[in-house]
């Protein structure tokens, strides 16, 4: 891990997919796994 994403940084599925040159589906799946491990926290949008 490079710690390129700082704590409390917002993650965008779209921007991660573009940066990593993959579709959004594996990004979403990875974020679900990271959330299950307690490495990311999903906060539902408000507004």
pLDDT, position 6: 85
Q: How is residue 37 annotated by DSSP?
A: T
Q: Which tens digit of pLDDT belongs to each residue from 1-47?
A: 677 888 888 889 999 999 999 999 999 999 999 999 998 998 887 65
Please report which residue ranges of the chain form alpha helices under DSSP H: 13-20, 24-36
pLDDT, position 22: 96
- Note whether 24 and 14 are within 8 A (CB): yes
pLDDT, position 46: 63
Domain ranges of the chain: 9-47
């Amino acid at each position: 891990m490079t710690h390129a994403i700082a704590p409390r940084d917002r993650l965008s599925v779209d921007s991660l997919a573009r940066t990593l040159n993959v579709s959004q589906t594996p990004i979403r799946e990875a974020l679900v796994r990271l959330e299950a491990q307690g490495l990311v926290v999903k906060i539902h949008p408000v507004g």
